[in-house]
Structure 1
Amino acid sequence: MGTPEFAVNILQKLIEDPTFNIRLVVTQPDKPVGRKQILTPPPVKEFALKFNLNVIQPEKLKGNQEFFEILKKINPDVIVVVAYGKILPKEVLHIPRYGCINVHASLLPEYRGAAPIQRAIMDGQNYTGITIMKMDEELDTGDILLQEKIEIEKNDDVITLSNKLSELGGRLLIKTLKNISNITPIKQDSTKATYAPPIEKSEGQISWDMTNIEIYNRFRALKGWPGIFTAYKGKLLKIHDMEIVNEKKIENVQNGTVIEIDDSGIVIKVKDGAIKIKELQLEGGRKISAKDFVNGYKIKRGDILR
């Protein structure tokens, strides 16, 4: 059971291992995507169909007797859940012989919830990892089966880190499934729990009163969607590439002010120094380099981004 790209690599590893017989793939329904709202299947469905796997996409799980009966008929040894996006009702949890196993992209009990990768980067964490856990009726509170830590490198963003964690998650899941009868589950210490709620689009809006590290971490964490953005002359301005500039703290200049412009970017004053915008996109326009933006929109020193 899974939906986004993160789950695809893990499904691939299960397909490639002859030990496992995948009887069913459960994913979310197709959804409208883009300006034209084209109905688009989730990545897991597209990948599963390439291997002629049986795929179903229930609209809801709670009280879905038809879905429960399908699972009971298959009589699975285990159900693997990877970023599926729906809460499993207790009727599903009790069907498999070995229960439902979740691949979660954090070192539980830290970052329980829907956005553990983004939240870890946004918080400036140096490490994260994968937890394989046995699911219960609450959110990411089940017993830990296996866990492994990896470093978050300073230039990692949500895309690169997701790829690393998906690779790790696949390896750790295979190890778990092959030794599931011999693994002693470990209870989570809920007193140490932290949470990773879903990302809201509004979180992409930059406050120039933040530090340059905070802004850079948000840029890394929200790359792709929703991205980070500000405003220029009343229009939305998306920032597609940026870097920290080691400027000394500048007094008597409002945060968000353009303090320098060169061929490599537009330098903006922030709480504790500056950041350089290297690639950007004004509302209604296309993504362009900072140099082209300066030439086209005549932004200059002293202009203020909101």
Structure 2
Amino acid sequence: MGTPDFAVDILQKLIQEPFVNLKLVVTQPDKPVGRKRILTAPAVKEFAQKVGIEVVQPEKLKNNEEFFELLKEINPDTIVVVAYGKILPKEVLEIPKYGCINVHASLLPEYRGAAPIQRVLMDGKEYTGITIMKMDEGLDTGDILLQKEVKIENDDDILTLSKKLSEAGSQLLIEVLKNIESITPVKQDHSRATYAPPIKKEEGKIDWDMCAKEIYNRFRALKMWPGIFTTFKEKLLKIHDMEIVQDNIFDSRPNGTVVEIDDSSIIIKVRDGLIRLKLLQLEGGKKIGARDFVNGYKIKRGDVLA
């Protein structure tokens, strides 16, 4: 059971294992995407159909007798859940012989919830990890089967860190499945729990009063969605590439001020330093490099981004 690309990576590894007899893929329903609201299949569905695995997309799980009967007919040894996006009801949790196993992209009990990879990047952490957990009725509260720590590099973003974690998750999951009868579950220390709630679109709005590292961490965490943005001349301005020029310096100019323009970037003053903007997109326009943006939209030193 899974939905996004992160789950696809793990599904791909599972079907390559000779001892795994995969009977069914469960994913969320197709959803309208983009301005034109085009009905789009989840990444897991697209992959499963390509390799010829049966897919079901229940609108709901609770009190869904047709879905429960399908699972009972399959009679699985275990159900593997990877970023599915819904909490499983008790009726589903009780069906598999060895229970339902979740691959969660954090070192539980830290970062329980829907957006652990984005939140750990936004928080500027140096380490995260993968937890393989036996599911219960709570939100990522089940007993831990195995964990693995993963280092976060300074240049990691949502794409690179997701890839690292999916690879670690695949390896750990296969180890758990091979040794499911001998692994002793360990209860989580609930007093140490932290949470990673879903990302909201408004979190992509840049607050230039933040520190340089805070802004950069938000950029690398929200790169895929919703992206980060500000306003220029009362229009939405998306930032597609940026880097820190310098931090721990201070001057009296307002935060968000354009302080320098060079051949490849627009340099912005923030609370404790400078941020370099390299690839931009003004509302209604295309992604363009900083130099083309300067030439096309006449941004200049002293302008202030809101």
- TM-score, normalization by structure 2: 0.99
Q: Secondary structure at the match of 1:242?
A: strand
Matched, 1:61 2:36: no
> Hey, what's the Cα distance between the residues in 1 that align with 2:161 and 2:280?
23
Is the Cα–Cα contact under 8 Å of residues 118 and 222 in structure 2 kept in the other structure? yes
> Hey, what's the Cα distance between the residues in 1 that align with 2:223 and 2:233?
24
Q: Secondary structure at the match of 2:291?
A: helix
Matched, 1:94 2:88: no
Q: Secondary structure at the match of 2:73?
A: helix
Matched, 1:298 2:295: no
Matched residue, 1:262 = 262
> Hey, what's the Cα distance between the residues in 2 that align with 1:172 and 1:248?
40
Matched residue, 2:201 = 201
Deviation at 1:33, TM superposition (A): 1.6
Matched residue, 1:112 = 112
5+ residue gaps, structure 1: none
- Amino acid corresponding to residue 102 of structure 2 in structure 1: N
Deviation at 1:85, TM superposition (A): 0.6
Matched residue, 1:6 = 6
> Hey, what's the Cα distance between the residues in 2 that align with 1:251 and 1:184?
57
Deviation at 1:77, TM superposition (A): 0.3
> Hey, what's the Cα distance between the residues in 1 that align with 2:226 and 2:257?
24
Q: After alignment, is 146-155 or 44-53 more displaced?
A: 44-53
Q: Secondary structure at the match of 2:20?
A: coil
Matched residue, 2:273 = 273
Q: Deviations over 1:204-246 (max 9, x none)?
A: 0011000000000000000011011000010000000001012
> Hey, what's the Cα distance between the residues in 1 that align with 2:146 and 2:248?
46
Matched residue, 1:284 = 284
Matched, 1:228 2:228: yes
> Hey, what's the Cα distance between the residues in 1 that align with 2:217 and 2:247?
18
Q: Secondary structure at the match of 2:214?
A: helix
Matched residue, 2:125 = 125
> Hey, what's the Cα distance between the residues in 1 that align with 2:210 and 2:113?
25
Q: After alignment, is 247-256 or 231-240 more displaced?
A: 247-256
> Hey, what's the Cα distance between the residues in 2 that align with 1:81 and 1:184?
19
Matched residue, 2:210 = 210
Matched residue, 1:135 = 135
> Hey, what's the Cα distance between the residues in 1 that align with 2:110 and 2:247?
34
Q: Secondary structure at the match of 1:202?
A: helix
Is the Cα–Cα contact under 8 Å of residues 212 and 247 in structure 2 kept in the other structure? no
Q: Secondary structure at the match of 1:155?
A: coil
Q: Alignment identity in percent?
A: 73
Q: After alignment, is 125-134 or 244-253 more displaced?
A: 244-253
Q: Secondary structure at the match of 1:177?
A: helix
- Counterparts of 1:65-80 in structure 2 under 5 Å? 65-80=65-80
- Amino acid corresponding to residue 117 of structure 2 in structure 1: I
Matched residue, 1:245 = 245
Matched residue, 1:85 = 85
- Amino acid corresponding to residue 173 of structure 2 in structure 1: L
- Amino acid corresponding to residue 111 of structure 1 in structure 2: Y
Across the aligned residues of Structure 1 and Structure 2, the Cα RMSD in angstroms comes to: 0.8
> Hey, what's the Cα distance between the residues in 1 that align with 2:141 and 2:72?
25
Deviation at 1:248, TM superposition (A): 6.3
Matched residue, 1:156 = 156
Matched residue, 2:38 = 38
Runs of 4+ in 1 over 3 A off after TM superposition: none
- TM-score, normalization by structure 1: 0.99
- Amino acid corresponding to residue 217 of structure 1 in structure 2: N
Q: Deviations over 1:175-199 (max 9, x none)?
A: 0000010000000001111000000
Deviation at 1:35, TM superposition (A): 2.2
Deviation at 1:247, TM superposition (A): 6.0
Q: Secondary structure at the match of 1:240?
A: strand
Q: Deviations over 1:125-153 (max 9, x none)?
A: 00001000000000000000000001000
Deviation at 1:252, TM superposition (A): 1.9
Q: How many matched pairs?
A: 306
Q: After alignment, is 266-275 or 250-259 more displaced?
A: 250-259
